[in-house]
Amino acid sequence: MTDRLSAKDWLDQGLKTLTARGFTALKADPLAKAMGVSRGSFYWHFADVEAFHAALLNHWRDVATERIIAELETESRGGEALARLIRRAFGARLKTEMAVRNWAAHEPLARKVVASIDQRRLSYIVRLFEKSGSPPSRAQASAQVLYWAFLGFTLSERAISRKQRQALIDELLRIATGSA
């Protein structure tokens, strides 16, 4: 069975479990049961639960930050990357983001990784503002305000309709880029 599941399979299941049940469920037994395999398969890929946690956080960094940045850099031209990022970030369901941040509130390793992800994201947003012509000090301030808006959006559990969400995204785009 261990040759059928890759480390990525375990990491993907880990993100699903984290999102649905929280960081306390990130243990070998419940994950193995959810995947219909033995714990031996888990330990084939990870030395222990702590190694799995570290790998899971790195996987999250890749999925939720590095891949998005790479896609934006590949697909966007000119100043449209910032608008695409805003549409993507505020148009997404962010339950996993919230679950990772909750984990970071309780565990030092998760806190350290989330802080580095926040810094990476913020630096990228600063660069996008600078590319669109903002002077460095304004780019830094604009990026920070935009990221604070994202964090507030992430942690908000207020349900809004698709139409309301689109209106809010349009307003945020207007504020951030000067257009809709």
Domain that holds residue 137: 78-177
Residue 125 to residue 146: CA distance in whole angstroms? 8
For the chain, what is the domain count? 1
Is the Cβ–Cβ distance between 26 and 52 less than 8 Å? yes
> Does a structural domain hold residue 69?
no
Q: What is the largest CA-CA distance in the chain?
A: 56
Amino acid 157: pLDDT: 79
> Does a structural domain hold residue 70?
no
pLDDT, block means (10 residues), the chain with 180 residues:
77 96 95 91 94 97 96 81 92 91 97 98 96 93 96 88 92 81
> Does a structural domain hold residue 124?
yes
> Does a structural domain hold residue 17?
no
Amino acid 176: pLDDT: 87
> Does a structural domain hold residue 48?
no
pTM of the full structure: 0.90
Residue 36 to residue 31: CA distance in whole angstroms? 9
Amino acid 108: pLDDT: 97
Amino acid 115: pLDDT: 98
